[in-house]
Amino acid sequence: MKKINYKINTNQFPRLWRGLGRGVAFILFLLTSLLWSGTSFAQDIHLSQFNSSPQNLNPAQTGLFDGDWRFVGNYRSQWSAVPVPYKTFSLSTDTRLKTKIKSAVPGLGLIVNTDQAGDSKFSTTQILMSAAIIKKLNKDSTHFISVGIQPGFTTKNFNTGALTYDNQFDGDKYNSALSSGENYTKTKITYFDMGGGLAYLWKKNYRTQANIGVSAFHINTPKQSFYGDNSIKLDTKTTISGLVQFPVAAQFDVIPTFLYQKQGKFNETVVGAFGKYYLQPIDGMITAVSLGGFFRAKDAFILVANMDYRNFNVGVSYDINNSKLVAATNNRGGFEISIIYIIKKPVVFVAKKRVCPIYM
């Protein structure tokens, strides 16, 4: 492994700001476009460490990483102060395929999500495929655009065993022998789902980059009624996300990041930043710790700690709830952990005018 040099070349900063300027212009364009459409919150699984679940964030992020294979695991426990916490699991993997096409690379991924909430153990399970085409926009491989799609199937089900109903109150107490008065047509539904996305990556080196994207999920607005009511459909969710990374000292980077989502009548905005400190490399590989703070508008403050060690990236976060639910949650929101493992084969040749490792 080649030894990592932390020295910063200040002559690169004018080019850095020009690259960031392009990214800011792209963000403004996406925001303007989306504000003309309707409005999301989380009818889907919800993660505070959204950048640590790339395929859930944007199908166009499939294969858009430095390495050969990427494996991602996410776990979230939300509202532990209420009687039945919400629990979310996500597992995914993605890679890039080898082809004879030099200017574009296909990415392929698989993601499995499961979420369980409430006394009814209302569960959502998703099995989704992701496919993307990553195309370089210049000869030195610093600018890329990726287009992705994400077809798959979602199953939702619930259990009535632990539920109680008004009809089962006999005037004095709850009586389980009384009829609930409910007649469920079914307690399980499965439907086809489709998503897609677009991402732009500018990467000067591993410390200087910008990644911005827009994605849409449930494009086909699938039916989701347990009573066979075809008018009840899942609203399309639109997401804009981005991050910018740049060095401010010999061993310290700043990483501002944001997320904006719209679904149905609801919206979500998350803004914040990481401070990333590079430790002494281990066997020539990057070792760094990151601390971050984020704010989810009208909902929570998010504290995040992150570490890069060898081929692993591990993150831990905690939401401090400040919404109207604070009386029930006592400020306790959600605990979350993410693990990313990347397999990267050694580079066996030195390519001329290729800066970004995606095309090395």
Higher pLDDT, 114 or 18: 114
pLDDT of residue 200: 97
Higher pLDDT, 21 or 207: 207
pLDDT tens digits for 22-47?
444 443 444 334 333 333 333 578 89
Domain assignment of residue 2, yes or no: no
Domain assignment of residue 5, yes or no: no
Mean pLDDT on 91-112? 91
Q: Phi/psi of residue 166, each to 5°?
A: -55, -40
pLDDT of residue 323: 67
pLDDT of residue 78: 79
Higher pLDDT, 55 or 21: 55
Mean pLDDT on 257-282? 94
At 120, list the tokens.
């009814």
pLDDT of residue 3: 43
- Count how many domains the chain has: 1
| CATH code, 182 | 2.40.160.40
Give residue 22's domain range. 10-359
Contact present, 121 and 159 (Cβ < 8 Å): yes
pLDDT of residue 229: 83
pLDDT tens digits for 279-333?
998 888 889 999 999 999 988 899 999 999 989 999 999 998 886 655 445 556 6
Give the pLDDT band (50/70/90) at residue 355: low
List 159's β-bridge partners, or say none: none
Higher pLDDT, 85 or 195: 195
Domain assignment of residue 318, yes or no: yes
pLDDT of residue 199: 98
Higher pLDDT, 210 or 161: 210
Domain assignment of residue 1, yes or no: no
Domain assignment of residue 111, yes or no: yes
Cα–Cα distance list, 141 to 5, 104, 146, 263, 357 (Å): 21, 11, 13, 35, 9
Domain assignment of residue 4, yes or no: no
Strands 237-249 and 252-263: antiparallel
Domain assignment of residue 3, yes or no: no
pLDDT tens digits for 139-191?
888 999 999 999 999 999 988 877 888 888 888 888 888 888 777 778 899 99
Distant-in-sequence, close-in-space partners of 193: CB < 8 Å, separation ≥ 6:
126, 128, 151, 152, 153, 154, 217, 218, 220, 222
Max mean pLDDT range (80-89, 264-273, 317-326) = 264-273
For the ranges 51-55, 138-142, 246-250, the lowest mean pLDDT is seen at 138-142
pTM: 0.80
